[in-house]
Amino acid sequence: MYKYNADDLALIQERAAQFREQVARWRAGTLADDDFRPLRLMNGVYVQRHAPMLRVAVPYGMVSAGQLRALARISRRYDKGIGHFTTRHNLQLNWVRIEDVPDILDELAKVEMHAIQTSGNCIRNVTADQFAGVAPDEVIDPRPLAEILRQWSALHPEFAYLPRKFKIAISGSADDRTLSWYHDIGLQLDSIKGEPTFTVLVGGGLGRTPLRAQVLKKNLPWRHILSYLEAIVRVFNLNGRRDNPYKARLKILVQSLGLREFTRQVATEWAALKDGPATLTDAEYQRVAAYFVAPDYKTLPAENAELPAQKAAHPDFARWLARALHPHKIPGYAAVTLSLKAPGQAPGDITADQMEAVAQLADTFSFGEARVAHEQNLVLADVEQGRLFELWMSAQKVGLATPNIGLLTDMICCPGGALCDLANAQSVAIAQAIQARFDNLDTLTQLGELSLNISGCINACGHHHVGNIGILGVDRQSEEYYQITLGGRQGKDARTGKVIGPAVAAARVPDVVSDIIDVFTRQRHPQENFAATFDRIGSAPFKSCLKEKSA
Ligand code: HEM
Ligand code: SF4
């Protein structure tokens, strides 16, 4: 894991000191609200429905046991002892006081964390694969380049005030676990004759205008990644619509210019930057890559000899393994997802006690590190197969072993009306109503892989567009209604779902989800998952079923 050097540390300490002074001036009334607003946003401080919220970055999802313990301490001391993991590797503390934020930033700096650029019109936290470095389908470990991008984008003087927020994801695997097709820039790493290269995707995004990205460049040699990104962000900075926040994202610029013209403008900017000082050297890559060397793995048999008997003796353990495990490239190891989607829990929420418990699990089972997954779960990436049973027993005790990873109740969900000022709807209450309806693990397991994503408004923080079932809160004459989309998905084949009928009242949502599931179970071929059935039969059977039911 990357370790701050003296310069990194000085930078975030100075930034925290600067914010302390800004807060003091604001409290003294010498800094007006309107002037303070962009400053607090650049430091991750929003003002939500009930209280200010601080969004802390977990760059490309890597978090150490020590950092988790610090987050637990901070959430107990300055918040309500709870945090919320977002879909972009951030932890939100939803009940802080602005006057405490400078102290929180100091506490974070002690464990090499910060909240810089987690909000505001700047380059946000770079996101990556939660299985980076361990996934068998990985071609290149994206973390060294993700860290280089973090350093490049943090407080980049030219890009401090972009037309709108700017999100970058980087993936180095055959499959795409980063939603790179729905980012302003999606970077897909590959290699040509051992040299890393990038496919650069641009203009993706969710929100009110969901757009899948387009391929801007293929086979970009890794050395040019900073100058090439600089060229893209320059074109955006110069031409993005600053007059209209709804049309200000890069996706709208790419759409309005057309890919050909956008490519031309990027090429012109790049010509002036290419081979300049931003060109990465082997020495710089090696300096950063040295932080991501593999831990001290043991030599183990590929299959642990005790697992079959443990599974046979404990069916609940077998059920958990079937959902929580992800293969590992080192024989005898596995990556394990800890579910933050226990029944009744707001998806992505974690208590301070659980943060400490995960820290302990990371220390005991996974070289002291954990990962944040964009599905709002946590991952222990390096667990010996021979210790999975022990891990399961411990994770169960702290409510982190619900065997629902990838199933319908592993929902992505934004905080919605419970906290967010922009919400039309109580997305968490809807999530809980669906959890309550689908509380039978056998049924869930039989349904197989199925993503259900919920957003409380058109901003799409809950990724509803790319859920197999997407649920969007809309306002109908001050009443909560929900629009349902089907067929969306993430991954290599990412796409936007289609609306399947008029929005339905909040109370009907669990019934509508049940009806959709009924159509699926009647029509599916053996072992087929929801997305495959939807592709085969289309939306018509779902639409006609819902029409009949609402008639
Ligand atoms: C204070 C609470 C929040 C506010 C005010 C907020 C605001 C917004 C807004 C205005 C957008 C639309 C941006 C656009 O289309 O240009 C957006 C998008 C998004 N937000 Fe949030 N958000 C909040 C919390 C969250 C949380 C908790 C998550 C994760 C669970 C999240 C993840 C996202 C994602 C993934 C997108 C869409 C991706 C994109 O196209 O940029 N946000 N948010
Ligand atoms: S989708 Fe809407 S309601 Fe949900 S967090 Fe985003 S802005 Fe708030």
Task: Determine the residue of 92, 453, 459, 464 to mutate for testing ligand 1's pocket, defined as the one with the most ligand atoms within 8 A of the Cβ atom.
Answer: 459
Span 74-98, average pLDDT:
97
Q: Is the pLDDT of residue 246 over 80?
A: yes
* Centroid of ligand 1 to alpha carbon of 482 (angstroms): 18
Q: How confident is the model at residue 497 (pLDDT cuts 50, 70, 90)?
A: very high
Span 502-512, average pLDDT:
94
Q: Which of 154, 74, 149, 146 is nearest to 110 (CA)?
A: 74
CB 131 within 8 A of CB 381: yes
CB 187 within 8 A of CB 132: no
Rounded Cα–Cα distance for residues 304 and 367 (Å): 19
CB 115 within 8 A of CB 43: yes
Give the pLDDT of residue 545: 82
Rounded Cα–Cα distance for residues 434 and 149 (Å): 39
Give the pLDDT of residue 548: 78
| pLDDT tens for each residue of 220-238 | 999 999 999 999 999 999 9
Span 249-263, average pLDDT:
98
Rounded Cα–Cα distance for residues 158 and 551 (Å): 57
Task: Determine the residue of 165, 246, 414 to mutate for testing ligand 2's pocket, defined as the one with the most ligand atoms within 8 A of the Cβ atom.
Answer: 414
Task: Specify the ligand 1 atom closest to the Cα of 462.
Answer: 30
* Centroid of ligand 2 to alpha carbon of 472 (angstroms): 10
Give the pLDDT of residue 325: 98
- Where is 14: in which H helix or E strand? helix 6-27
Q: Domains of the chain (ranges plus CATH)?
A: 6-110 (3.30.70), 134-288 (3.30.413.10), 307-397 (3.90.480.20), 412-550 (3.30.413.10)
Rounded Cα–Cα distance for residues 205 and 201 (Å): 11
CB 120 near ligand 1, within 6 Å: no
Positive or negative CA dihedral for 409, 410, 416, 420? positive
Planar angle of CA 355, 91, 145, nearest 5 degrees: 105
- Neighbour tally for 284: CB within 10 Å: 15
| pLDDT tens for each residue of 17-42 | 999 999 999 999 999 999 999 999 98
CB 512 near ligand 1, within 6 Å: no
Burial 1-15 (b: 16+ CB within 10 A, else e): bbeeeeebeebbeeb
Rounded Cα–Cα distance for residues 550 and 46 (Å): 40
Span 11-20, average pLDDT:
96
Q: Which of 60, 525, 410 is nearest to 534 (CA)?
A: 525
pTM (predicted TM-score): 0.96
Give the pLDDT of residue 31: 97
Rounded Cα–Cα distance for residues 523 and 530 (Å): 10
CB 471 within 8 A of CB 463: no
Span 176-186, average pLDDT:
98
Q: Is the pLDDT of residue 524 over 80?
A: yes
Span 421-432, average pLDDT:
94
Give the pLDDT of residue 551: 64
| pLDDT tens for each residue of 346-398 | 999 999 999 999 999 999 999 999 999 999 999 999 999 999 999 999 999 99
Strand order from edge to edge, sheet including 82-85: 45-47, 52-57, 90-93, 82-85, 349-351
| pLDDT tens for each residue of 40-77 | 998 999 998 889 999 999 999 999 999 999 999 999 99
Span 96-112, average pLDDT:
97
Q: Is the pLDDT of residue 152 over 80?
A: yes
**Rounded mean pLDDT of the chain?**
96
Residues counted in the chain: 551
Rounded Cα–Cα distance for residues 15 and 43 (Å): 9
Span 412-429, average pLDDT:
93
Task: Determine the residue of 88, 208, 459, 474 to mutate for testing ligand 2's pocket, defined as the one with the most ligand atoms within 8 A of the Cβ atom.
Answer: 459
Phi, psi dihedrals of residue 526, rounded to the nearest 5°: -50, 135
| pLDDT tens for each residue of 460-485 | 999 999 999 999 999 998 899 999 99
Contacts of residue 458, Cβ cutoff 8 Å, sequence gap at least 6: 207, 208, 424, 472, 474
* Centroid of ligand 1 to alpha carbon of 401 (angstroms): 28
Give the pLDDT of residue 512: 96
Give the pLDDT of residue 456: 96
Contacts of residue 125, Cβ cutoff 8 Å, sequence gap at least 6: 57, 58, 59, 88, 89, 90, 117, 118, 150
- Farthest-apart Cα atoms in the chain, separation: 69
CA distance between the termini of the chain: 57
CB 61 near ligand 2, within 6 Å: no
Q: How confident is the model at residue 108 (pLDDT cuts 50, 70, 90)?
A: very high
CB 239 near ligand 2, within 6 Å: no
| Residue 88, token pair as written in the block | 């972009």
